[in-house]
Amino acid sequence: MNNNDLANLIFPNINKTIEDYEKIYPKRKSNDEQAVTRFAPSPTGYMHIGGFYQAIIDYMIAKNTNGIFYLRNEDTDSQREVSGASKLILDTLKYYNIVPKEYEFNGEIVGNYGPYIQSERKEIYHAFIKYLISIGRAYPCFCTKEDLDEMRSFQESHKVRPGYHGNFAKCRKLSVEDQINLIKEGKPYVIRFKSNGDFEKKFRFIDEVKGLLMLNENDIDDVIMKSDNKLPTYHFAHIVDDYLMGTTHVVRGEEWLSSVPKHIEMFEAFDFNPPKYIHTPLILKKDGNSTRKISKRKDPEASMSYYKELGYPKTAVIESLMTIINSNYEQWHDANPDKTYLDFEYSPKKMSSSGALYDLMKLEDISKNIISQMTKEELYKESYEWAKNYSESLTKLIELDPDYYKAILNIEREQAKPRKDIAKYSDIESLIWYMYDELYNPTDYEWGKVSDEQEISNILKTYMDKYFTTDSEEWFSKVKELASELGYAANMKDYKKDPDNYKGNVADIATVLRVALTSKSKTPDLCEIMCILGKDRIEKRYRKFYKD
């Protein structure tokens, strides 16, 4: 009895060899520069910002090199799987235009290297495991949960490095005969990789972000195939899939860095070249005076749905992530204002190796800028699209009179210095509500220096009687004339020279006109607001303050 007998006993129906699969999935016809990257999430029901930023990097690397970015569904852990999760992942990528060239969804396989869903690749993994068993580099392990618990507590109490290694790797020492007999008896088993490594020895490893690292060799006989569903573990699937799918760059979280020695050893066992690795730093956030990891449990912004629900423009979300992806991104963007992130050349060397601090204020700034550059038609379209999904009240306002809504959006827009107060579509309603009689029912008026009711009445009445205009050319000079007539300085210079000579200045007058109309002391251009509201509505609002 030899290893071949063992391999055939475990996988009697696996007839294809690694060479067969190499023919089915030939090396991709690309030149050395063209990268093949993949996003390989587990469908656990959530699109984490950390995964999404890895997907952007994957996409950028492929784009920069005219290569291929594909999506692989890593669903080997059926207990953690949540239905609908793979749809959410693909939808999120598509929503942000980070579209994979190859993927599988709903029975449709796009690309020649599929299936792209791991649970559908069982036979392939089995062929690779069968080979390892036949060359003596993998074996069945019959240790029970109790055996492993015992091993762990022994290692803990004796301060021994944890894991199934050296003398702790009990089943490694079983003869092939014993292994075959135990399988025939029906004993449950997993398959473990047989490591040849020596933990005391170091080897050189280059991570594209962290640079040259000296790592300890692996000596742990890791599980590569689970007992219940006969699916591979992440470690093994990574080797097989990234080899057959021709991945050149693996972008993944730095929590996988400690697994690199096992991955390298497994690639070597097959005589495959490992891909390049880009281990991305954790996304951090400021919390008071300290920084900590963004947490799925505590921070709503850890989920990509947060940004969509609040209505941040897609480009703003991506650009805010670009600023933590590459430290020179903002500088590059300032120097190339007409270019988009798609023109940017990603470099792992310009990635922080210690942690990426994500700042929602930065997102707000980027977003305000992007929204300020939109035309009214663009903002109308985007915000309406958002409202239909997330805000019944804004949808109602828009549908009441789309042109009126557009006119409001156009205040201080499509000009050299546009307004920058909208950071997300969910801000809009709270910034424009006073333009709608349906919503205008203020309880609080933000009066400034002038708060005397008689004086307010006087200012408003005189304005409506003598100086009202919606002609932007003469609007401000009329307000100045009103100021002069009522004893306020018409310009600031005069006022500063001799403040005691006046009741106040033209800004105080403008504030009264503004607050009486909107209840707010800060609004965009008042003349534009008046023009849109129209004389009747203005008069109606002002009348409330008239005294006899």
Strand order in 290-293's β-sheet? 290-293, 283-287, 356-357
Preceding amide of 115 cis, omega within 30: yes
Decide if residue 246 touches ligand GLU (CB under 6 A): no
Instruction: Assign 214 to helix, strand or coil.
Output: strand
From 38-46, 130-138, 312-320, 451-459, span contacting ligand GLU (CB under 6 A): 38-46
Least distance CB 125 / ligand GLU (angstroms): 15
From 40-48, 197-205, 445-453, 507-515, span contacting ligand GLU (CB under 6 A): 40-48
CA dist., res. 358 & res. 373, Å (int): 24
Name the token pair of 173: 């020492």
Which residue type is seen at 426?
A: S
Decide if residue 252 touches ligand GLU (CB under 6 A): yes
- The phi, psi pair for 292, rounded to 5°, reads -145, 170
Q: Which residues contact 72 (CB under 8 A, 6 or more apart)?
A: 38, 39, 40, 116, 117, 118, 241, 245
Decide if residue 42 touches ligand GLU (CB under 6 A): yes
Least distance CB 256 / ligand GLU (angstroms): 6
CA dist., res. 431 & res. 394, Å (int): 11
CA 394 to chain centre: 26
According to DSSP, residue 160 is labeled P
Least distance CB 37 / ligand GLU (angstroms): 10
Subset of 207-236 contacting ligand GLU (CB under 6 A): 234
CB atoms < 10 A from the CB of 371, how many?
28
Nearer to ligand GLU, 70 or 142 (CB): 70
Nearer to ligand GLU, 145 or 297 (CB): 297
Decide if residue 41 touches ligand GLU (CB under 6 A): yes
Decide if residue 238 touches ligand GLU (CB under 6 A): yes
Here the contacts of 335-341 (C-beta below 8 Å, separation 24 or greater) are 340/315, 341/60, 341/315
Count, residues near ligand GLU per rule CB under 6 A? 8
Least distance CB 126 / ligand GLU (angstroms): 20
Least distance CB 253 / ligand GLU (angstroms): 6
Decide if residue 74 touches ligand GLU (CB under 6 A): yes
The 371-410 contact track toward ligand GLU, x by CB under 6 A, reads: ----------------------------------------
Decide if residue 40 touches ligand GLU (CB under 6 A): yes
Decide if residue 118 touches ligand GLU (CB under 6 A): no
User: Using CB under 6 A as the criterion, which residues of the chain lie in contact with ligand GLU when the complex forms?
Assistant: 40-42, 74, 234, 238, 250, 252
